[in-house]
Amino acid sequence: MNRIGVKSGTLPSGLRDWRSLDGILEEVLEPGIELVLCPRPEVPLITVTFLWEGGALLDAPDYFGQAQTTSELLVKGTKTSDAITLAARFEVLGADFETWAGRECLGITLSAPRRVFPKVWDLVEDVFESSRFTASELHKLQKRSIAAIRVAKDGDPRSLLSVYADSWIYGSGSPYGHPVGGDEISLGRLEPGSLRRFWFQHLRDRRAVVSVAGDFDPDEIRASLTRIFSSRKVQNPGSSDLQVPVEPPIGMRGLFIDRPGATQCYFWMGGLGVDRRYPERVGLELVQSVLGGRFNSLLNRRLRIEEGLTYGAHAGYTLPSFRGVSYLTSYTPTERTRRALDAAFDVLRRAREVGLLEADLKAGRLYLKGQEAFRYETTNQWSFRLALRRFHHLSLADWAGYAEALDQISPARAGVILREVFPAPEDCFLVVIGDARSLLPDLVDLGEWSLESLSSPGFGPARPQPVEPVKV
């Protein structure tokens, strides 16, 4: 038997409590930076997550992809370095500097070996203060992003299902419906000046959360952050100024995205779910795990293990500040599409009508408790997850009581949650990407369908906006 590093000593009397809050600090740093510090000295790395409130929700109408493109353009050159030089300055240190936009925030993930961090902070300051937003770099990005959408449409379209679904459910004009990454038309409309203003005059001074995990000295972190945010002027617009139209679904509404000759069909069925303030978040996590959140879930068991219809089937939900979506999704060879759709509908119908069995819930609780430690293992995970919790105002104390909260979810409660969050099959929005000529005739009895081509620009037809958007 070959071993390495086996020590002759024995284990500590008990496994250390990885969920302990000891050492995690939350504080507000001037000027208005919400800071989370999570010391993890095991490996000589530091990861910093920055989140600014805003993101694609702030995209102007017809300028979808503004936040995403702003995040990408941020690192395409500063006063002292062009785009390649700037990238090289990070990469030569072994530093990762990833910028991205989500629906509700703009984020940066920065990770590097501890010993190079003083130099890394200088680079971050350079980016935050003097990013150039040049027309030439924007032009390149636009062409690349538009081409990347076409590549995704040419290739494996799984990642596009949720983009079509958001647009189909919320309407493409809704802050929640338009594509975060923009589309082939909207990206072409972006201009460097507006993106520059978007960052310097709008986003940079909004509410910001910074979360640091790894092998660091807290005082060094505070000093560095204070320096790089020195010109920040705190604004407090919050997200309450945003309107998100919410329209309850009645009857099945189908969107068929035609890909002529496709031998595989990809489908998504779902509807409006709940928001971040939903009181039964832990219960929802359990329900999702049992319904379609792991290999042995009801959905995957039926579609993959029992019927061999697909390689994978999944149920999920989003929990944004306003009502998110909840869904079931899978894919299957064209000729088996109807059978797979009916099986997925059947799983959903039965779960809503019969409820979830205690045996399944028990297995789900044990699974989630066991896997939770793997969601908080690396510095990247600690940094990102703690930043998100802070961003959504979720308390660390709640998190520490996760296992106990799971134990409280009875079959009756799980049934209520499932019916509250997941729509009835007959009220689902359905998105299908496949060969319309061979498939659509077999699906007409399911409800009303709209037909679009996968190669058309954008992500599906705009449905009419509700007459009176809900003011939140």
Partner 1 sequence: MLWPDPGNPRAALYMFYQVGSADEPAAPTGLAHFLEHMMFNGSARFPDGDFDRVLEAAGGSNNAYTTEEMTVYHEHFPATATATAFALEMDRMRTLLIDAERVDRERGVILSEREASVENDPVACFLEEVQAVACAGTAYAHPVIGWAEDIARIDESSLSRFYNRHYRYARPTIVGVGGIEPEHWNRLCVDQGLDQAPDRVAGASEPVPVGPHSAGERRIERSAAVQSSYLALSFPTPAVTAPSALAHELLWTVLVEGVASRLHALLVERKAEAIALEAYRIGHRVPGCRILLVALAPGRRPQTVERTIRQALAQLADAGPTDEERIRAINQRLASYYHQLESVTGRAELLGRAWTLHRDLSRIQTYPGRLEAVGADEIRDAARDAFGQGGWTVGCLHPDGT
Q: Which of residues 300-339 bind partner 1 (CB under 8 A)?
A: 301, 304-305, 307-311, 331-333, 336
* Shortest distance, position 252 Cβ to partner 1, whole Å: 25
Nearest-approach distance from CB 207 to partner 1, in angstroms? 29
User: Is there a contact between 50 and 208 (Cβ–Cβ < 8 Å)?
Assistant: yes
Residues 6 or more apart whose Cβ sits within 8 Å of residue 355: 411, 412, 414, 415, 418
Regarding 26 and contact with partner 1 (CB under 8 A), the answer is no
Residue of 130, 263, 410, 453 that binds partner 1 (CB under 8 A):
263
Contact region for partner 1 (CB under 8 A) — 10-18, 162-170, 319-327, 445-453?
10-18
Give least dist CB 104 to partner 1, A: 27
Which stretch, 125-133, 201-209, 241-249, 291-299, contacts partner 1 (CB under 8 A)?
291-299
Binding mask 97-136 for partner 1 (x = CB under 8 A): --------------xxx--x--------------------
Could you say which of 186, 264, 288, 326 contacts partner 1 (CB under 8 A)? 264
Between residues 377 and 426, which has the closer beta carbon with respect to partner 1? 377
Site for partner 1 in 195-234 (CB under 8 A): none
The answer to the question of residue 188 lying near partner 1 (CB under 8 A) is no
Nearer to partner 1, 15 or 354 (CB): 15
Smallest distance, partner 1 to C-beta of residue 34, A: 25
Q: Say how many residues touch partner 1, by CB under 8 A.
A: 80
CB of 310 to partner 1, least distance (A): 5
Write the binding mask 375 to 394 for partner 1: x where contact by CB under 8 A, - elsewhere: --xxxx--------------
In the complex with partner 1, the residue whose CB is nearer, 9 or 464, is 9
Cβ atoms of 269 and 243 within 8 Å: the answer is no
Amino acid, res. 461: P
- Cα–Cα distance for residue pair 103/98, rounded to 1 Å: 17
**Min CB(115)–partner 1 separation in Å:** 10
Q: How far is the CB of 113 from partner 1 (least distance, A)?
A: 6
Min CB(452)–partner 1 separation in Å = 17
Q: Is 96 in the site for partner 1 (CB under 8 A)?
A: yes
Residues 136-175 that bind partner 1 (CB under 8 A): 140, 143-144, 146-148, 150-151, 153-156, 158
Rounded to the nearest whole angstrom, what is the least distance from the CB of residue 225 to partner 1 in the complex?
A: 22
Encoded tokens for 98: 């990833």
Residue 68 CB, nearest approach to partner 1 (Å): 16
In the bound state with partner 1, the residue whose beta carbon lies nearer, of 46 and 221, is 46
Which CB, 11 or 250, lies closer to partner 1? 11
Nearest to 146 by CA among 178, 177, 172, 185: 185
For residue 263, the minimal CB distance to partner 1 (Å) is 5
12: contact with partner 1 by CB under 8 A: yes
27 to 86, contacts with partner 1 by CB under 8 A? Answer: 42-45, 83-85
Is 5 one of the binding residues for partner 1 (CB under 8 A)?
yes
Shortest approach of partner 1 to residue 5 CB, angstroms? 6
**Is residue 371 near partner 1 by the rule CB under 8 A?**
yes
State how far the alpha carbon of 38 is from the alpha carbons of 21, 23, 264, 381, 384, in Å.
9, 7, 45, 11, 11
What's the start-to-end Cα distance of the chain, in Å?
63
Binders in 426-465 for partner 1, by CB under 8 A: 455
The C-alpha atoms of residue 98 and residue 384 are separated, in whole angstroms, by 12
Smaller CB distance to partner 1: residue 348 or 433? 433
Tokens of 182: 């923009």
Nearest-angstrom CA–CA distance, 122 and 297: 48
Nearer to partner 1, 272 or 282 (CB): 282
Tokens standing for residue 162? 């949720």
Q: Which two tokens stand for residue 283?
A: 């219960």
